[in-house]
């Protein structure tokens, strides 16, 4: 365990907004996490485990301890049919994908350049270009800080859903993801149904080509958080009834939608925001990215309040035009615990 002398949070979340914590510590092992929860200096304080902070907005100073997950390691074993990876929760996600591509292990390449650590990936059930984490996850190892025991949850027990999992609900508090297991087939089948990957021929395309294409597209469409503060996709793609979708298509025949089940479809939140004419819209130092309406950015001077008001403006605009509510994907952190856009503006 390493206690950091600096309390500023800007380097530890990709929005880069100035905020401070009462304490920041690094945990490099399961024992470090156990020690932190037992330590008399910390046991009465609120605690938040952070990987790279790529899905966080600190709405105010955090009156507790930030624990940086720095558990590392990639262990590879093989069966006759699969590559099996056991990966520490503190490993960088994109570096894991790059490692797999370098070793000609397919299955994760569609998820290239998604910011964050491996330990965060099951929480959101991250996904892109037709692949979600649930498709490749074999298990998740979770430390229960109340018992100091590590329990392994197989993929079914993780209750994965669209940008959702058990780690947002029953296992949200007092449980820390310390490792993730992946099972990747040796019989690689490229997932190239989504544009721009559908340009490839499934019989000839390589893992490297899919990886490169995904990286190129994400770099062109999404701002680099190292240069422009942001937390990636700020809003979830809303799921609505097919009945409402059909009504909207009368006025918006080009509106994209994707089937979820017999009763529901998923809309593209970025498209809805774009149709409201909000690309480039700015409040204070917070700005909707000119090329990607789904991304709210810190142009260098944004306060948390700027981002909050911009987010609410987006929500209100989409409701007014389409009658569809947007839910933020980014986690909002108040002084002592997680909060929600609606709760902040109601207070």
C-alpha–C-alpha distance, residues 70 and 254, integer Å: 45
Q: Give the DSSP H/E element, type plus range, for residue 269.
A: helix 269-275
**Sheet with strand 295-298: strands edge to edge:** 229-233, 295-298, 286-288, 282-283
User: Catalytic: 245?
Assistant: no
Sign of CA dihedral 132, 134, 137, 139: positive
Q: Give the DSSP H/E element, type plus range, for residue 93.
A: helix 93-102
The one catalytic residue among 165, 233, 257, 317: 233
Residue with tokens 């040796």: 186
Record the tokens describing residue 168, joined without a space: 């947002």
The one catalytic residue among 70, 163, 218, 331: 163
C-alpha–C-alpha distance, residues 332 and 56, integer Å: 6
The one catalytic residue among 26, 60, 329, 338: 329
User: Catalytic: 329?
Assistant: yes
Residue with tokens 């149904």: 193
C-alpha–C-alpha distance, residues 177 and 168, integer Å: 12
User: Catalytic: 218?
Assistant: no
**Length, in residues, of the chain:** 347
C-alpha–C-alpha distance, residues 143 and 139, integer Å: 13
Q: Which residues are catalytic?
A: 163, 233, 329
């Amino acid at each position: 365990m390493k206690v950091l002398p600096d309390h500023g949070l800007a380097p530890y979340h990709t929005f880069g907004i100035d905020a401070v914590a009462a304490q920041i510590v690094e945990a490099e092992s399961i024992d470090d996490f156990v020690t932190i929860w037992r330590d008399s200096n910390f046991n009465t304080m609120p605690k938040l485990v952070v990987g790279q902070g790529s899905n966080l907005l600190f709405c105010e100073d955090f009156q507790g301890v930030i624990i940086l997950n720095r558990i590392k390691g990639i262990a590879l074993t093989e069966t006759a049919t699969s590559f099996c990876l056991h990966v520490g929760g503190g490993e960088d996600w994109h570096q894991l994908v790059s490692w797999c591509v370098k070793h000609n292990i397919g299955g994760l390449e569609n998820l290239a350049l998604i910011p964050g650590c491996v330990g965060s990936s099951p929480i959101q059930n991250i996904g892109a270009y037709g692949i979600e984490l649930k498709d490749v996850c074999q298990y998740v190892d979770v430390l229960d800080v109340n018992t100091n025991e590590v329990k392994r949850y197989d993929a079914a027990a993780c209750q994965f859903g669209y940008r959702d999992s058990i780690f947002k609900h029953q296992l949200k508090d007092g449980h820390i993801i310390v490792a993730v297991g992946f099972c990747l087939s040796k019989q690689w089948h490229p997932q190239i149904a989504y544009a721009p990957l559908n340009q490839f021929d499934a019989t000839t395309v390589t893992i490297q080509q899919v990886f490169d294409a995904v990286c190129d597209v994400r770099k062109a469409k999404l701002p680099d958080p190292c240069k422009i503060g942001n937390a990636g996709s700020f809003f979830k793609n809303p799921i609505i009834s097919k009945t409402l979708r059909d009504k909207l298509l009368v006025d918006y025949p080009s509106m994209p939608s994707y089937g979820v089940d017999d009763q529901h479809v998923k809309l593209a939140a970025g498209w809805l925001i774009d149709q409201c004419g909000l690309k480039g819209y700015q409040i204070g130092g917070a700005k909707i990215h000119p090329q990607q309406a789904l991304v709210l950015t810190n142009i260098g001077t944004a306060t948390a309040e700027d981002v909050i008001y911009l987010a609410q403006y987006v929500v209100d605009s989409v409701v007014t035009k389409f009658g569809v509510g947007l839910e933020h994907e980014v986690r909002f952190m108040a002084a002592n615990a997680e909060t929600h856009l609606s709760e902040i503006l109601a207070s």
